[in-house]
Each structure stands twice: as structure tokens, then as C-alpha cells.
């Protein structure tokens, strides 16, 4: 069975959450400024928020919710392609 690099890596989750908190600020600003012409910026902001919630949940439970995190990342990839 292949191991996932995120398994039991709470330090990584803390780092990712801190980085994402800054990205939330940027994505919110971009959505506010450019959202009228680019409505997808609101979707990006929503997925970033969802990703942070998944990470926070994983930290609280000390069990990483890979599916939720990976789904959010995949959604972000599709929107920002």
C-alpha cells in the first residue's frame, strides 16, 4: 500500500494553513476588485476557504482528511487552469 506524504504530518498542515491564510486575503481582494469581470475569482476564494476548513479539521482530529483536501486542490486547479 502506497503511503501518502501528508500522513500524520501536522507540521505540514500548520505551515499550509499559515500560507493559505495569506492567500485568503489575496483571493478576497482579487475577487472584490475583479469579480465583476471575472466571477471565477469568487469560486477561487470559496475553495481556498474550504481548503482551510479541511486543514483545520484535520489538525483538530489529528487525522488528515485527504479526500477533502485533495478535492479542494483539484477544484482550484480546474478553475485556475
- Digit-coded pLDDT (tens) for 24-34: 899 999 999 99
Structural domain boundaries in the chain: 10-80
Instruction: Examine the pLDDT at 37 and tell me if it is beyond 90.
Output: yes
Residue range 40-75, pLDDT digits in tens: 999 999 988 988 888 777 766 666 677 888 888 888
Q: How far is CA 22 from the centre of its chain?
A: 11
How much is the pLDDT for 8? 53
Q: pLDDT band for 4, please (50, 70, 90 cuts).
A: low
Amino acid at each position: 500500500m502506497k503511503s501518502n506524504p501528508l500522513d500524520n504530518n501536522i507540521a505540514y498542515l500548520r505551515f499550509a494553513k499559515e500560507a493559505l491564510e495569506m492567500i485568503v486575503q489575496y483571493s478576497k481582494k482579487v475577487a472584490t476588485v475583479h469579480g465583476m469581470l471575472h466571477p471565477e475569482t469568487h469560486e477561487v476564494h470559496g475553495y481556498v476557504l474550504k481548503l482551510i476548513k479541511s486543514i483545520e479539521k484535520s489538525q483538530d482530529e489529528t487525522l488528515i482528511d485527504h479526500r477533502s483536501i485533495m478535492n479542494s486542490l483539484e477544484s482550484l486547479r480546474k478553475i485556475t487552469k
